[in-house]
A and B are shown apart, each in its own frame.
Chain A
Amino acid sequence: MALIRKPKIKSIPYEDFKDNESLEKMIDELNAHGTNVVVASLDKLINWGRSNSLWPLTFGTSCCAIELMALGAARFDMARFGFEVTRTSPRQADVILVCGTITNKMTPVLKRLYDQMAEPKYVIAIGGCTCTGGPFTKSYHVVKGVDKILPVDVYVPGCPPRPEAFLYGMMQLQRKVKIENYLGTVNRKEKDPYKEEAKQLKKEIFNQEEKA
């Protein structure tokens, strides 16, 4: 039974959003398996909580970071959505707003920051530079799009995008979070690579002993 329906954002009709097709595809995939009623309602409650409380990580490399500051200021005020608690430690943040150009030297740092975040985590690529390299595509030191390093959830183009565009991007992310299947899929815990390796090794030794 189709338990997951269209995600609603307060005071903006569903048709006004741009990319409804990819969300509908996700919904169809999730509905194909079906869920039971209790888990689905719990999912809805948890997703409501998660989508209304996305805490960004303070990460800005260049010009788009100034628009992020303007977003937090009084005229546009992302606090209305609940996003103003920008945490500085990646372990406590939910979403990383990659604002500004990413260069080759910054890549390992960004990857490390992303790895340090706690699940469930999201990435929003803001500005032309993070979507495709922006005005600096001819450069030898610029990564042509941050999706070469991280899995991106929402792209917000612009150079720099207006703060309203930032808010639109975050609302798109909210819609995506609202339809996710939390229990069983998104609430994964990252496995310790050393323990995994040790388990793998033990299995191989066991298999070898079986053969011999």
Chain B
Amino acid sequence: MTLDIRTVASSELHNEMMRLKQERHMDFLVNLIGMDWGEEGGLGVIYMLESSKTGETAEIKTSTMDREHPYLQTVSDIWQIANIYEREVYDFYGIIFLNHPDMRRLFLREDWQGFPFRKDDKPEEENPLRMDNEPLADTTKEYFINADGSVGVKENVIFAPDDYVINIGPQHPSTHGVLHMRTRLDGETVTKIDPVLGYIHRGVEKISESLTYPQTLALTDRLDYLSAMQNRHALCMCIEKAIGLEITPRVQYIRTIMDELQRVASHLLYYGALVMDVGALTAFFYTFREREMLLKIFEDNFGGRLIMNYNTIGGVMYDIRPDFAKQVKEFEKALRKRFHEYQDIYSTNIIALNRMVGVGTLSQEQAISFGCAGPTGRACGWHNDVRKRHPYALYDQVEFKEIIREEGDSNARHLNRMDEMLESLNIIDQLIDNIPEGDFQTKRKPIVKLPEGSFYQAVESSRGEFGVFIESKGDKSPYRLHYRSNGLPLIAAMDTACRGEKIADLIAIGGTMDFVIPDIDR
């Protein structure tokens, strides 16, 4: 069923958004998607809002017909995450948001010519490979409407000339990928962080517009490679719901078990990376020992260690082996037996507690305003688990607790993930012995064409809410495919969480936020 998107005129946008936030309590901006509807529709934005209290959702659309100087009103004063999202839309479509305090490109180089996601843009011709260093500006522009209706430009300062700014990254042992944070320091204390993204921007959304639906599946595994199964599950579910394809119960069981196994693998690696950042290197090897057992299961049954390419539209690629249940149960026993080692060596260590308790605190309002879903948001007291809010697969039929903590500091985030690992094992326990017989793939037409409309599906990946938005015009390729990244809100929240902390804390906070950069840059 397609989404019901309401159109709002661009001059009324800010007032309407303010009304939605205050009266219907829509404080969670799930998606802000830039669109190019061509000559008839113009350039525009789709907003997807949700209320954290009532669970009510709303979808709004706005557009402007001016392709030379497209202007829209900003909503970055209503939701803090819109600051980053609108920069992304400016980067890809060229839409300038009025009164946005920091109108710069987000992913592409500052001297990039053109706007690649527009349908008439030719990115490769205008932008050959440049070997010179990118000039990173210290000031940024803000556009506003003058009293007489014309558009004026104001300069805002990011870093003053006297500031002591160091570059953390892009090549850095612990930024979990290539993230570049320009950090202003006052001695050892961090006073401002300006993240520079885009070092692994591969243009997956733009590539997908020229691929058929089965071909787009191959790229999802490589976005957030630690939640590879869950990402592909989201895309397959979205397409299946759009074409109305029923999948067999056996496939539902396999997919749910797969998702939970993937969650355990991801949290094991999160723990290993965190202790590596903080300095206790030995625990990293212990978690990898368990993770290797899990990767062996993945390899035997699903075909790959890290990139599995297992879900397809209508089912899964091959059937599981007959001893799958036995393998999983053995792994579970080994993990439960050794779980206390992780707590002993790190989580209860006095030095580790000193490094994590009270450090990098986010309040619940800030987490919701930034849209930090996943264990990070749940550590601030926000009930945001997609498996409970909008259940999919078999999550409405299994019993599991949603792990919530109230403090919002690094320790809470860390313990959340540790507990979630055990919860995942409980879910697998309930399902592993009851996998029904049946087909592992539903028959479908070889060429997949989605009906006209917009579709959205979210899953609870290991890091938060990963969503897939497809707008289709009835072809065999998507007109627009957008992935809701679960790491982008976390990066946006880093500035708020790290103000006033030391450099060492910045690394530890980054470790507990647990973002994966290719998922942010797409």
Contact = CB atoms under 8 A, between A and B. Distances in A.
B171 A113 contact: yes
B405 to A, nearest CB: 28
Contact of B132 (A60, A106, A108): A108
A138 B207 contact: yes
Contacts of B305: 67, 70, 160, 162
Interface stretch (B12-20, B77-85, B282-290): B282-290
Contacts, number: 126
B178 interface: yes
Contact of B225 (A66, A112, A139, A148): A66
Contact of A88 (B173, B218, B284, B518): B173
B244 interface: no
B131 A111 contact: yes
Nearest to A57: B171
- For chain B, what secondary structure do more than half of its interface residues adopt (helix, strand, loop), or is it mixed? loop
Contact of A66 (B107, B199, B206, B269): B269
A104 B129 contact: yes
Contacts of B269: 66, 69
Given A105-B198, A135-B222, A142-B203, A70 B288 contact: yes
A112 B219 CA distance: 29
Contact of A101 (B109, B123, B124, B200): B200
A88 B132 CA distance: 23
A63 B288 contact: no
Contacts of A149: 131
A108 B134 contact: yes
Given A73-B285, A109-B170, A136 B202 contact: yes
A200 interface: no
A116 B172 CA distance: 15
Contact of A135 (B132, B173, B199, B218): B218
Interface string A99-132: 0110111111101110000000000000000000
Interface in B120-165: 123-124, 127, 129-134
A148 B285 contact: no
Contact of A109 (B107, B199, B288): B199
The contact size tier of chain A is 35 or more
A143 interface: yes
Interface in B275-302: 284-285, 288-289, 291-292, 295
A70 B134 CA distance: 33
The range of chain B's interface size is 35 or more
- Residue among A88, A105, A111, A136 with most chain B CB within 10 A: A105
B226 interface: yes
Given A101-B202, A106-B200, A107-B131, A62 B218 contact: no
Given A69-B288, A135-B222, A109 B171 contact: yes
Contact of A62 (B107, B130, B518): B518
Contacts of A186: none
Nearest to B309: A159
Nearest to A110: B171
A140 interface: yes
Contacts of B292: 70, 73-75
Nearest to B203: A139
Contacts of A73: 284-285, 288-289, 292
A63 B129 CA distance: 23
Contact of A63 (B116, B204, B284, B518): B518
A190 to B, nearest CB: 18
A67 B108 CA distance: 27
Given A58-B171, A60-B177, 7 more contacts: A66-B306, A69-B269, A75-B288, A112-B133, A135-B218, A159-B307, A162-B305
19 contacts: A61-B177, A61-B517, A63-B306, A66-B269, A66-B306, A67-B305, A70-B288, A70-B291, A70-B295, A74-B285, A75-B289, A88-B173, A105-B108, A135-B219, A139-B207, A141-B108, A141-B116, A142-B203, A159-B307
Interface of B: 107-109, 116, 123-124, 127, 129-134, 170-173, 177-178, 198-204, 206-207, 210-211, 218-219, 222, 225-226, 269, 272, 284-285, 288-289, 291-292, 295, 305-307, 517-518
Interface of A: 58-63, 65-67, 69-70, 73-75, 88, 90, 100-101, 103-109, 111-113, 135-136, 138-143, 148-149, 159-160, 162
